[in-house]
Amino acid sequence: MGRRFQRTVEDFICKQCGFPVQGTGYTNHCPRCLWSLHVDVMPGDRQAECGGLMAPVAVAGPAGHYRILHHCQNCGVEKWNQAAPKDDFEQLLAIAQLQRKQS
């Protein structure tokens, strides 16, 4: 039985940096600091019981189609998410540079 994406439009305050985020139904991280919350099992379902902060630890993809790897600080799960047009590009670059230094 396949699960489908569940679009949920939600505004939220980022638990990492306090930035007020206007959700679009596809928003899964803060556009300022790029941190997320571990709230979904499948995208949009809000079924994860963890609720931990998810750090942006890697960036991949060609220009304009970046993906961000989030690592849960609570349970360790990792998930890739699409970067959004309003994401702070300087933050994306900083994550990519840190990723290179650690390689």
The pTM (predicted TM-score) of the whole model is: 0.89
pLDDT of residue 1: 42
The answer to whether residue 1 sits within a structural domain is no
Q: Is 2 a residue whose pLDDT tops 80? A: no
Q: Is 33 a residue whose pLDDT tops 50? A: yes
The answer to whether residue 29 sits within a structural domain is yes
The answer to whether residue 3 sits within a structural domain is no
Residue whose token pair is 């189609």: 65
The answer to whether residue 36 sits within a structural domain is yes
Q: pLDDT per residue over 44-56, tens digit each?
A: 888 999 999 999 9
Average pLDDT over residues 42-70: 92
Split into its structural domains, the chain has a count of 1
More confident residue, 3 or 47: 47
Q: Residue 87 sits in which domain range?
A: 12-102
The answer to whether residue 58 sits within a structural domain is yes
Q: Is 15 a residue whose pLDDT tops 60? A: yes
